Amino acid sequence: MGIGRLYTYTPLPHPTQPRDVEPSTSPAQEWQRYLDARQKVDDELAQLAKIDNSLVADIFRVHQEILHDRLLTDAVRAAIDRGISAATATQQASSDLVQMFQNLSDDYFASRAVDIRDVGQRLLAHLNGVSLARQLAALPPNTVLLAEDLTPFDATHLSSDSVAGIVLAGSAPTAHTAILARSLGIPLICGVGSAILHLPPGQLAIVDGLQGRLIVEPDEELLESYVQTRQRLLAFRITAESHSHEAATTLDGRRVLVHVNINSQEDMLQIASSGADGIGLLRTEYLFQERTTPPAVEEQIEAYRLISQQMPGEILTVRLLDIGGDKPVRYLPQMTESNPFLGVRGIRLLLQHPELLRDQLQALVSLSLESSFTGVVRILVPMVSKIVEVYRVLEVLDSIPGYREEHRREGRLQVGLMIEVPAAALLADRVAPLVDFFSIGTNDLAQYTLAADRVNSAVASLASPLDPSVLRLIAMTCQAGNVAEIPISICGEMAGDPSIFPLLFGLGVTEVSVVAPAVPLVKEAVRQTDGDAARRLAANALRTSRAQEVHRLLHPE
């Protein structure tokens, strides 16, 4: 939550006609200018990649690769050799590449276009001697920055000392810029439309990142209430962090495991200090993407073993490969699907490529049997929509060398389902007796229940996981899980908001899995939750008709 004065950011336009080679400069000299600029950008990126945040550091490493990529370098060289200045050559080569990538049907490559534009922008800043950084670095304290969009390049020049909040007309919460803003601790709201760019600069504004609201010229009373809420949140964080390594138990004595979501080996660096009770969701896509062949069984065992050696607690929940939707891989050429989120994704894809399913199950069974592994491997099946998919996975598991039914009975290896398609929630009572746990993926459950694409900012506001339709499906899942006496976790983003925990607990959720920075906050929310009050809250929420009403129940003041 940030409070400050509005400032509209317009990136300095790239010179449309940068000077061409002056008679006194030769292609050799222009090439040298390009190499000098490239070196400076390389140094800049190397410095930025030292940041203590793996996700952010990866962005800059990718940018370094692009900087040295032959596609870019050769195109610049060829243009300079034709007698064009280094700046024009860079501008042309980078915009041609951006266009080429944008036109690719492969989502992964198309999304790289923004990174190429960013690298081009950095090079041009050096070649033209103008610095976008100057505009951003010179912002006065307590600025609320309004912009169409920001590139990661822009975002690296921001400082939380001057920027109180960012509001973007476009972009999405999972874009690189949002990741950077989060790592800087700057509240950001995105996808709000270009009307914000016409707001008069200098007005007082509140950026409410919790509710995704920009409030311009608040009255005294509202401003005061926001100042107080901000102080309360800060105090809450300080208390929470001082207890983060203690178990979280509700006021009525129920222990709630607060697990952590992990997306890569590097994420493990953050979790030791988070106080997480275990790993509630290891998204294994990182092991399979950005390579030309799938990892062999041995390589997978090694990767899971490494995670298990560094993890807190006993539980290692590994989700089977969830490829498809917005996460393609190169060596599995999916048909071009007009609705990839409704296509061959998750378990559907694994069942079409049984060798991938078998190898991953083999690796997980092997890890669970290693004498040095003393925890529990929970295998999580993504995108289940049919009961036969569960039967098929259990059949394949049965055929894995070394696997015996006792492993499941002894609790060393468990099999659970992602409940993220409404069909799975509606059939939860039928599938619960077949499995050992449920994990509710509310990111997808909200998308599929409300028919609102999770990566389309135009419908993002429709896909609230607090919508009573989604809550009813969560309640249904919990009821079935409770009857079968299996743990029911929530691993979607909503679980990371501590104010939502009492509602989830009241609905019957028994565990949660959240991003590392949210672990202390959610643990603290568990400690402040009373079971009876939570169940009353849940019953009231289930009687509402709109997400806004649920929101008001959670934030009554």
Q: Which amino acid is at 196?
A: I
Q: Which of 126, 190, 478, 491 is labelled catalytic?
A: 491
Identify each DSSP E strand in 338-461 by its residue range: 376-381, 413-419, 437-440
Measured from the CB atom, the residue of 420 and 524 that comes closer to Mg ion is 420
Question: Smallest distance from the beta carbon of 451 to ligand PEP, in angstroms?
Answer: 15
Residue with token string 């039914």: 405
Which residues sit at the interface with ligand PEP, rule CB under 6 A?
Answer: 281, 283, 322, 420, 441-444, 491-492
Of the ranges 234-242, 362-370, 404-412, 415-423, which one interacts with Mg ion (CB under 5 A)? 415-423
- Nearby residues of 501 by Cβ (< 8 Å), 6 or more positions away: 495, 512, 522, 525, 526, 529
CB 258 within 8 A of CB 240: no
Which of Mg ion, ligand PEP, none does residue 491 bind (CB under 5 to 8 Å by kind)?
A: ligand PEP
CB 381 within 8 A of CB 320: yes
Which of ligand PEP, Mg ion, none does residue 118 bind (CB under 5 to 8 Å by kind)?
A: none
Give the Å distances, CA to CA, from 108 to 103, 326, 335.
12, 8, 15
Measured from the CB atom, the residue of 184 and 281 that comes closer to ligand PEP is 281
Q: CA 444, 447, 450: angle at the middle one, nearest 5?
A: 140
Q: Which of 176, 190, 259, 478 is labelled catalytic?
A: 176
- Catalytic, 407? Answer no
Question: Smallest distance from the beta carbon of 444 to Mg ion, in angstroms?
Answer: 4
Strands across the sheet with 204-208, in order?
A: 188-189, 163-168, 143-147, 2-8, 204-208, 213-216
Q: Is 241 in the site for Mg ion (CB under 5 A)?
A: no
| Helix, strand, coil shares, percent, the chain, to 5 | 50, 15, 35
First to last CA, the chain: 17
Could you tell me the two tokens for 223? Answer: 């401003």
Judged by CB under 5 A, the chain residues 97 through 116 that form the site for Mg ion are: none
Residue 395: which region, alpha, beta or left (left: phi > 0; alpha: psi -120 to 50)? Answer: alpha
Q: Is 493 in the site for Mg ion (CB under 5 A)?
A: no
Measured from the CB atom, the residue of 146 and 494 that comes closer to ligand PEP is 494
Which of ligand PEP, Mg ion, none does residue 487 bind (CB under 5 to 8 Å by kind)?
A: none
DSSP state at residue 413 = E
Residue with token string 């929310």: 525
Measured from the CB atom, the residue of 37 and 419 that comes closer to Mg ion is 419
Question: Smallest distance from the beta carbon of 281 to ligand PEP, in angstroms?
Answer: 6
Measured from the CB atom, the residue of 34 and 448 that comes closer to ligand PEP is 448
| Phi, psi for residue 249 in degrees, rounded to 5 | -130, 140
| Phi, psi for residue 188 in degrees, rounded to 5 | -140, 135
Which of Mg ion, ligand PEP, none does residue 283 bind (CB under 5 to 8 Å by kind)?
A: ligand PEP
CB 473 within 8 A of CB 450: no
Q: For Mg ion, which residue of 115, 241, 420, 436 counts as binding (CB under 5 A)?
A: 420
Q: Which amino acid is at 281?
A: L
Binding letters toward Mg ion, positions 361-400, x by CB under 5 A: ----------------------------------------
Question: Smallest distance from the beta carbon of 190 to ligand PEP, in angstroms?
Answer: 18
Question: Smallest distance from the beta carbon of 428 to ligand PEP, in angstroms?
Answer: 16
- Catalytic, 491? Answer yes
Measured from the CB atom, the residue of 31 and 341 that comes closer to ligand PEP is 341
Question: Smallest distance from the beta carbon of 226 to Mg ion, in angstroms?
Answer: 33
Separation of alpha carbons 209 and 187, rounded Å: 5
Could you tell me the two tokens for 242? Answer: 């001082």
Identify each DSSP E strand in 354-487 by its residue range: 376-381, 413-419, 437-440
Question: Smallest distance from the beta carbon of 326 to ligand PEP, in angstroms?
Answer: 9
Which of ligand PEP, Mg ion, none does residue 442 bind (CB under 5 to 8 Å by kind)?
A: ligand PEP
Q: Is 44 in the site for Mg ion (CB under 5 A)?
A: no
Question: Smallest distance from the beta carbon of 439 to Mg ion, in angstroms?
Answer: 10
Measured from the CB atom, the residue of 322 and 436 that comes closer to ligand PEP is 322
Measured from the CB atom, the residue of 98 and 281 that comes closer to ligand PEP is 281
Of the ranges 194-202, 222-230, 389-397, 414-422, which one interacts with Mg ion (CB under 5 A)? 414-422
Separation of alpha carbons 392 and 254, rounded Å: 35
Number of residues counted as binding Mg ion (CB under 5 A): 3
The helix (H) or strand (E) run that includes residue 3 is strand 2-8
Judged by CB under 5 A, the chain residues 432 through 491 that form the site for Mg ion are: 441, 444
* Residues in contact with Mg ion by the rule CB under 5 A: 420, 441, 444
Residues catalogued as catalytic: 176, 491
